Structure 1
Amino acid sequence: MPSIRNVAAPYWAEFIGTLVLTVVGLGVTAQNLTSTTTSKTEALNSSLAWGLAVTLGIWTSEHVSGGHINPAVTLSRALFSGFPATRVLCYLASQTLGAFTGALLVWVNFGSALGDLPKGKGVHPAAFAFITAGDTWTGLVGEATAAFIFVLAVFAITDNTSSAKNIAPLAVGLAFTAASLGVSSPLGLAVNPARDLGPRIFAALAYGLDVFAEGSFYFWVPLAGPIVGGAAGAFVYEWLVRRDAEYHALEEGAAH
């Protein structure tokens, strides 16, 4: 009979993997926000850093939980590749708590420098080290598009027949960097609901509840956009790409 530790292991792995992801990614975001020398390279170093953060987070958790570290991936797996529905809520909670704790660690490291940022009206500028914000429609399209590309790549890379399966964490990280460079960098998108919600809750505690009202209540955009885009990416791979590939593989086998 499995022990509590055995049952909890996948959720701890998702918590720790998302924590690693968030510490690395938000750490670079905080550096960009407090530095006066990175403005010309911000989009590039942010995209590379978040890609590496994804790689490290997956390497940390993959062998125990599958290395989702992203609610959009978890929900897409549940919808299209047989991930147990009974685990979904605990995965989402673990990912969000991991991102919240990662934000706390980033604040411990950068809190003093962030606190020195000049404050104007509205949300404290330090909060933008933790949250995303922008135009609602542009952000929603960007989140959905980036998540579509990213989750499509995740499903392709982790397919049992994929040549990239053996280096999946690195390949998935590169896919995130590619999606970020192509779509999200200028907009500061999340492409991961936990990456925004967990740190946003922390920012609300640290800097005020206005972080939820920022940008005409923009907070729902990085929650809905990646889930919709990720599900679309998973659908395209599972129902259009993989099934067609299986058909052609069978045809080639029969020909031989």
Structure 2
Amino acid sequence: MAEPRKIPGLAGEMAAEFAGTMILILFGVGVVAQVVAGGIGDHDSISWAWGIGVTLGVYVAARVSGAHLNPAVTFALAVFKDFSWRKVAPYMLAQTAGAFIAALIVRWNYTEVLAKADPGHTIKTQGVFSTLPGNGTLPVHTMGAFRDQIIGTAILLFVILALTDLRNSAPAANLGPFVIGLLVVAIGMAWGTDAGYAINPARDFGPRLASFFTGYGGAWRDQYGEIYFWVPIIGPLIGGVLGAGLYKVLIGRFLPSAEEPPEPDPAPTRTELETA
């Protein structure tokens, strides 16, 4: 007789969010370090590695915690009453901690490479760990990046809800993480110019904090000297709610309830049977 499934409890869910987000950041920040500091790869390899990191992180955590891996996802689900508010702060803490530890591991592993590429640990390699407006080189400023983060995260949440809504044409459970990873690849390739597509407060703040503690004194500012760290936190939180809300209004309210069986196909008419 099979043992009943254990209920993980909040501590177990936090552990899963920590582990899943850590996996995500190990691949995401790791690939940026390889491209920016090591000179191996390009924008496409960054987009693909971030997407694969999301896929693997979701596979790690989904069974235990639902694999939010992103405070914007957690917050949006709580706003629309799909998730308990009492779990919001613990989930966000676990996600940020996972991102922080993963970034420390990347920082440690790439110590020599980062030191050679940027001995002063300046804005030149700050983007390995945290995002910058215009990726540090293009003429995008704070409000342009803020707008970008709202839009990018709205797209993320809109499509995630479509992919995970069992009333919709959701992919099979074991394929869901793969398709969500492809979604992140697509956002990176289409929406990465203005602000580096953080679309995740934990993804940006955890590594930003890790870089600050390991020699990047300017981590909280952008290339213009402006305080910037709040943009990839507040923008995604707003965008996530907007995207989830749009899904509820445009799609969710027209789907049958979970208890309501789908309508059967109409019986064929005599004419249809005769011509079949």
TM-score normalised by L of structure 2: 0.83
Change (3 A) 1:7 1:147: closer
Output aligned runs, 1:199-210, within 5 Å.
199-210=207-218
Counterparts in 2 of 1:4 and 1:172: CA distance versus 1, 3 Å: closer
Does 2:236 correspond to 1:217? no
After superposition, the CA RMSD in angstroms is: 2.4
How many Å separate the matches in 1 of 2:161 and 2:255? 14
Counterpart of 1:22 in structure 2 is 25
Match of 1:59 in 2: 59
Letter in 2 for 1:131: S
Cα separation, 2, equivalents of 1:89 and 1:207:
28
Report the alpha carbon displacement of residue 239 of structure 1 after superposing the two structures with TM.
2.4
Equivalent in the alignment of 1:102: 102
Query: Retained in 1: the 8 A contact 2:107–2:211?
Result: no
Q: Which residue of 1 aligns with 2:46?
A: 46
Q: 1:255 to 1:189 in 2, by over 3 A?
A: closer
Residues 149 and 195, structure 2, Cα contact 8 Å, conserved in 1? no
In 1, Cα distance between equivalents of 2:221 and 2:195: 18
Match for residue 227 of structure 1 among 234, 237, 242: 237
In structure 1, stretches of 5+ residues that fail to align are none
2:254 counterpart residue number: 244
Q: Percent identity?
A: 33
The amino acid across from 2:182 in the alignment is: L
2:88 corresponding residue in structure 1: 88
* Mapped contact 2:17–2:95 kept (Cα < 8 A): yes
| Aligned with 1:253 (options 248, 263, 273) | 263
Question: 1:125 deviation in Å?
Answer: 2.9
Shift of 1:208: 3.8
Say if 2:163 is the partner of 1:164: no
Q: In the alignment, which residue of structure 2 is the partner of 1:129? A: 128
- Aligned residue number for residue 10 of structure 1: 13
> Structure 1's 255 and 17: CA in aligned 2 closer, same or farther, altered over 3 A?
closer
Q: Which structure shows the bigger proportion of residues in helix conformation?
A: 1
Compared with structure 1, are the counterparts of its residues 127 and 5 closer, same or farther at alpha carbon in structure 2 (3 Å cutoff)? same
Q: Which residue of 1 aligns with 2:272?
A: none
1:152 to 139, 158, 161: 158
Tell me: CA distance 1:32–1:66, structure 2 relative to 1, closer, same or farther (3 Å): same
- Mean alpha-carbon deviation: is it higher for 156-165 or for 46-55? 156-165
The alignment's TM-score, normalised by the length of structure 1, stands at: 0.89
C-alpha distance 204-37 of structure 1, shift in aligned 2 (>3 A): closer
The offset of 1:179, in angstroms, is 1.4
Deviation digits for residues 52-71 of structure 1, max 9, x if unmatched?
11101100000000000000
In structure 2, relative to structure 1, the CA distance for the partners of 1:51 and 1:77 (3 Å cut) is same
Cα distance, 1:115–1:225 mapped onto 2, change above 3 Å: same
- Tell me how many residue pairs correspond in the alignment: 248
Question: Equivalent residue for 1:36?
Answer: 39
1:139 aligns with 2:145: yes
1:189 is matched by which residue type in structure 2? Y
8 A Cα contact 2:153 2:199, kept in partner: yes
Q: Partner amino acid for 2:199? A: V
Partner of 1:175: 183
